[in-house]
């Protein structure tokens, strides 16, 4: 598996995975997805297997007056590629990008029924912070998770494994 940052040539394959993973109304629209992947305050990581996109993650960050916070917009892995650790590696790389942006924490929402994702986030140190009703539509609540990030000091690159 090869991991790299997004390039504009990736959009069609990225959006095909979005369509596979989410049905309307939960699917991001094309315009919104383009906005996310092209944002200067975001990083999009791609997982490739033999030149084919296997998954991606999008993290963005913003200043809130107390510092910089990151938000994991999505991690998506093609159905035939799941269960191989791709999501966990994409999460690690998204966290590294957030650290490089000096984010002090990373937040995310996860469907309360998505037990595989919940296990992955908790295994990687995310703590449940609350619940948001109807986040994924009527009667589909989300857990809100957060992880404090160790931000590197200026001039110190984050550790990589």
121-130 pLDDT, tens per residue?
A: 999 999 999 9
Range of the domain at 119: 2-148
Cα–Cα distances (Å) from 66 to 52, 62, 105, 125, 155, in that order, read 40, 11, 11, 22, 22
Note the Cα 85 to chain centre separation in Å.
14
Structural domain contains residue 24: yes
Question: How confident is the model over 22-64, as pLDDT tens digits?
Answer: 888 888 999 999 999 999 999 999 999 999 999 999 999 999 8
In a domain, 19, yes or no: yes
**Domain count of the chain?**
1
Determine, yes or no, domain membership for 30. Answer: yes
In a domain, 158, yes or no: no
CATH of the domain at 37: 3.40.630.30
In a domain, 153, yes or no: no
Token pair 């990225």 in the structure block, residue: 14
pTM: 0.90
For residue 32, is it within any domain? yes
């Amino acid at each position: 598996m090869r991991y790299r940052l997004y390039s504009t040539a990736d959009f069609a394959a990225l959006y095909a995975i979005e369509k596979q993973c989410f049905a309307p109304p939960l699917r991001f629209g094309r315009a919104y997805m383009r906005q996310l992947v092209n944002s200067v305050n975001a990083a999009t990581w791609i997982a490739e297997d033999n030149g084919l996109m296997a998954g991606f993650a999008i993290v963005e960050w913003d200043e809130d007056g107390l510092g910089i916070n990151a938000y994991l917009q999505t991690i998506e892995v093609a159905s035939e590629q799941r269960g191989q650790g791709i999501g966990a590696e994409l999460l690690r790389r998204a966290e590294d990008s957030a650290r490089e942006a000096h984010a002090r924490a990373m937040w995310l929402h996860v469907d309360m029924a998505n037990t595989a994702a919940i296990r992955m986030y908790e295994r990687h140190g995310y703590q449940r912070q609350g619940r948001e009703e109807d986040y994924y539509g009527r009667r589909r609540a989300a857990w809100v998770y957060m992880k404090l990030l160790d931000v590197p000091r200026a001039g110190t690159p984050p550790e990589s494994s």
